[in-house]
Amino acid sequence: MAFEVYKPRSSKEDVVAFTKHHIRLGVKLVGKLGSNRVEVAYDRETQQLRIKAVDEGGLLLNKNKIGARGIFRFFDLEGKKGNFDARYDPNEEAIFVDMQE
């Protein structure tokens, strides 16, 4: 009998996942932010979401998740689920998520 070893799929470093209630960042992206508080902004014209670390205020980044029900409602992003390409910009010290389909 031949055994197969289970190897969990690891998400790519440059992907941000949208679930029903959360925005989930890859572990390496979280490490680049260097904070557990973030600001989330959306550019409707370019359809890009920006996630940037802040010292005070903002939203709590719990491990690698941001509670996002209010964000989805506010920016009219409800129903957007799945993985989206993302990139970290060291000049802006922010993660940019491409929301275009």
Report if residue 1 sits inside a domain.
no
Span 17-56, pLDDT tens digits? 999 999 999 888 988 998 899 999 999 999 999 999 998 8
d(CA 30, CA 74): 23
Q: Is residue 8 part of a domain?
A: no
pLDDT at 83 over 70: yes
DSSP code for 11: P
Total number of domains in the chain: 1
Q: For residues 25 and 61, what is the distance between their CA atoms, to the nearest angstrom? A: 9
> Is 49 within the bounds of a domain?
yes
pLDDT digits (tens, 9 = 90+) for 62-81: 989 999 999 999 999 988 88
Domain that holds residue 94: 15-98
Structure confidence at residue 85 as a pLDDT band (50, 70, 90): confident
